[in-house]
Amino acid sequence: MRGYAPILLLLLICIATPPLVWGLARLLRPKAPNANKYMVYECGITPVTQAREKFSVRYYLVAVMFLIFDVETVFLMPWAIQIKELALFGLVEMLFFLFLLLFGYGYIWAKGALTWE
């Protein structure tokens, strides 16, 4: 059991630290409530609408498509580093991957997902 004592001690420290830090922050923070502190801050510009404005679904679709294609292109870096070891097999696999990537891009373009109308 002596071997588990450091692990138990570390676990207790990890459990006790967040409430301790939150409690200290609550005691030491300045208490000066002000209505201006609760206003939406947008680069120094006075807000003209509420912060909870609804966005079009197209905005989120474009964001998700960007993430998908951006993350997929990250796979090109390891391939480029290992291209000599992968030889012809790696080239064929990457060409197939790029074909699928371009096929997906063409599909979403044909469906009109990239237009802002």
DSSP secondary structure letters along 43-107: TTBPPSS-TT----HHHHHHHHHHHHHHHHHTTHHHHHHTHHHHHHHHHHHHHHHHHHHHHHHHH
Q: What domain count does the chain have?
A: 1
Q: What's the pTM value of the predicted model, to 2 decimals?
A: 0.49
Does residue 97 carry a pLDDT above 70?
yes
**Mean per-residue pLDDT over the chain, rounded:** 85
* Secondary structure of residue 22 in the 3-state scheme: helix
Q: According to the model, what pLDDT value does residue 96 have? A: 93
Identify the top-confidence range among 28-37, 63-72, 86-95. 86-95
CATH number at residue 33: 1.20.58
- Answer yes or no: is 59 within a domain: yes
Domain membership flag for residue 115: no
Q: In terms of residue numbers, what domain contains 104?
A: 2-110
pLDDT mean over 81-100: 91
Asked, for residue 116, whether it belongs to a domain, the answer is no
pLDDT tens per residue across span 9-55: 999 999 999 999 999 999 999 888 888 777 766 676 666 777 677 77
Considering the domain boundaries, does residue 117 fall inside one?
Answer: no
